[in-house]
Amino acid sequence: MKRVFTINGSPRKDYNTAQLLRAFADGAGEAGDEVEVEEVNLYDLHFTGCRECYACKLRGGRSYGHCGFRDDITDILDRVAHADVVAFGSPIYFSEITAQLRAFLERLWYPFVQFKRGEEQIIAPQPVRTAFLIPMNLTEQAMLRSGYDALLAPVLQWTQYIFGHEPQVQYCYDTLQYRDYDRYWADAWNVAAKQLRHERHFPTDLAQARQLGRAMVEASLTD
């Protein structure tokens, strides 16, 4: 049995991030009969980032190496760390992933970094294959000019350091932010061009996410 998680760090459950994650999940399901996909919508859950309770670092503590702070994500964190493949999705908010996904990652990562002299620094239970699906308003050229890739690099580096595999990254550019642009003040954007891009290119983004989900689960079959 291959266990796959999709973690939606967008508040919207049917827009760009959610659709990319669903395509990823569909692809993962195509990789074999024995694939179980669990969908998590972070904005449905009550939780915060790391509270510095340090239960995960306490000498002789029951929660050593695990997040000991009880809220809606405590059990999910443990299950995610034992998954085969995890796809994190987040829109870009002010050049970075959303605060919700960041908070989730703080809680996921920190218990697995230990500071015991003479021992391995990373104590995650197993390697996990991860992907980041990241939609944004900007075009690819504007995103590179704005340096989002450099701002996102630490998130990818920590994930790789802790879970052992290089994260796969799929950016999705120039997204449709609203279904009906006429209802909102948004005419600073070239709305016709965005709608055309959505019709012509978003299906390719979804196909790429689907292919990625399938390829990652197939790769995990050899683990």
Ligand X SMILES: Cc1cc2nc3c(=O)[nH]c(=O)nc-3n(C[C@H](O)[C@H](O)[C@H](O)COP(=O)(O)O)c2cc1C
Sites of contact with ligand X (CB under 6 A): 10, 12, 15-17, 91-95, 135-138, 175, 177
What is the nearest approach in angstroms of ligand X to the Cβ of residue 109? 23
What is the nearest approach in angstroms of ligand X to the Cβ of residue 139? 9
Of 101 and 162, the one with the shorter C-beta distance to ligand X is 101
Contact between 127 and 164 under an 8 Å Cβ cutoff? The reply is yes
- What does the alpha-carbon distance between residue 42 and residue 11 come to, in Å, rounded to a whole number? 8
**CB neighbour list of residue 65: distance below 8 Å, 6 or more residues apart:** 56, 111, 112, 114, 123
What is the nearest approach in angstroms of ligand X to the Cβ of residue 80? 20
Q: Could you identify the residue written with the tokens 């294959």? A: 129
Contact between 27 and 211 under an 8 Å Cβ cutoff? The reply is yes
What is the nearest approach in angstroms of ligand X to the Cβ of residue 130? 19
Of 48 and 137, the one with the shorter C-beta distance to ligand X is 137
What is the nearest approach in angstroms of ligand X to the Cβ of residue 86? 18
Going by the DSSP 8-state scheme, the letter that residue 82 receives in this structure is T
Of 27 and 135, the one with the shorter C-beta distance to ligand X is 135
Contact between 125 and 81 under an 8 Å Cβ cutoff? The reply is yes
Of 111 and 135, the one with the shorter C-beta distance to ligand X is 135
Backbone angles phi, psi at 177, to 5 degrees: -85, -30
Of 17 and 159, the one with the shorter C-beta distance to ligand X is 17
